[in-house]
Amino acid sequence: MKIGFLGLGSMGQAIAANLLQSGHEVWVWNRSPDAARKLVELGANAAATAAEAFNADVVFTMLADDKALRAVLLDSGLLAGLKAPLIHVNLATIAVAFAEELATLHAAQGIDYVAAPVMGRPNVAASGQLNILAAGPESAIDRVQPLLDLIGRKTWRLGEKASSANAMKLATNFLLVSAVQAMSEAAVLVTRYDLPSSALIDLVSSTIFTGPVYQGYGALIGERRYEPAAFKAALGLKDVELIRAAAEDVSIQLPTANLIRDNLLDAIAHGQGDMDLAVLAEVEERRARS
């Protein structure tokens, strides 16, 4: 199968490499061309343009945010020139409203659009153990399922409405950032009683809160180690803004999301936007000192 892959950040690199290792013909493209070099060395073909990468049977996109995807696919006129048969699988976390717009525009072109945001950090992507939240035409998901099986441990099918996958992904991300925020606050609390935050994290991640979020982000908080970042605070802010927008669209309040947004803005204002999301603990430490 001929596969196109656009968006070669740390997640995209890992996912594209797994598709490449399966023996498929993979064409890769990134806005910064140097990012494709490693994959080309592994056997991928470098597409000179985004349009060339879309000249495939199935195209995966993992672009950084809504703005980037809109620029590459819509503002450029690329989507308007595409024709069936083609399946576009969007792995990125984007706004629910934008997902609905994309599904409508793809359908008008006769092209299948599958929303498939993923759960997992780059190391999970590299091992092919992502959880994939997929929604869109069932026949299209059936066709790409063998490819999804190459990059994920499980595909969670969420129906024919593509935006359902994005709503679910934002809900899971809300739980994730809330857990990191809660750990950050608790870590500062125990230090004021002369207890090491690492002891707290070891306790809760081994008992009441087992799992990758408390063990992974918790370890970073306990050790106050925020670099290299697997999930940057700046990207966390992007996701929190999407979460807040999704809530506003259905007229619900998420006070915790508002708090985390303010804390992430504080981290960025202090030059910590490129550090891991766990740097929320430093925001809480600053607040405790003030």
pLDDT in tens, 202-232: 999 999 999 999 999 999 999 999 999 999 9
Q: What percent of the chain has pLDDT over 70?
A: 100
Q: How many CB atoms lie within 10 A of CB 5?
A: 30
- pLDDT at position 30 is 96
- pLDDT at position 136 is 98
- pLDDT at position 89 is 98
Q: Which residues belong to CATH 1.10.1040.10 in the chain?
A: 166-289
- pLDDT at position 290 is 79
CATH-assigned architecture of domain 2-161? 3-Layer(aba) Sandwich (3.40)
Active site residue 38: no
Average pLDDT (17-33) is 95
Q: Which residues belong to CATH 3.40.50.720 in the chain?
A: 2-161
Token match 């976390």: residue?
93
pLDDT tens per residue across span 233-280: 999 999 999 999 999 999 999 999 999 999 999 999 999 999 999 999
Average pLDDT (181-210) is 97
Q: What are 115's strand-pairing partners?
A: 90, 135
Using CB atoms within 10 Å of the CB of residue 36, give its burial: 0 to 12 exposed, 13 to 18 middle, 19+ buried. Answer: buried
* 149 — pLDDT class (breaks 50, 70, 90): very high
Give me the chain's average pLDDT, please.
97
Q: How many CB atoms lie within 10 A of CB 80?
A: 11
- pLDDT at position 4 is 98
Strands 130-134 and 118-119, sheet pairing: antiparallel
- pLDDT at position 255 is 97
- What global pTM score does this model have? 0.95
- pLDDT at position 150 is 97
Q: How far is CA 143 from the centre of its chain?
A: 23
* 160 — pLDDT class (breaks 50, 70, 90): very high
Give the active site residue among 2, 38, 83, 169: 169
User: What is the greatest pairwise CA distance in the chain?
Assistant: 64
| 72 token code pair | 């590459």
Asked if the model's pLDDT at residue 107 lies above 90, the reply is yes
- Per CATH, domain 166-289 is 4.10.490.10: no
* 31 — pLDDT class (breaks 50, 70, 90): very high
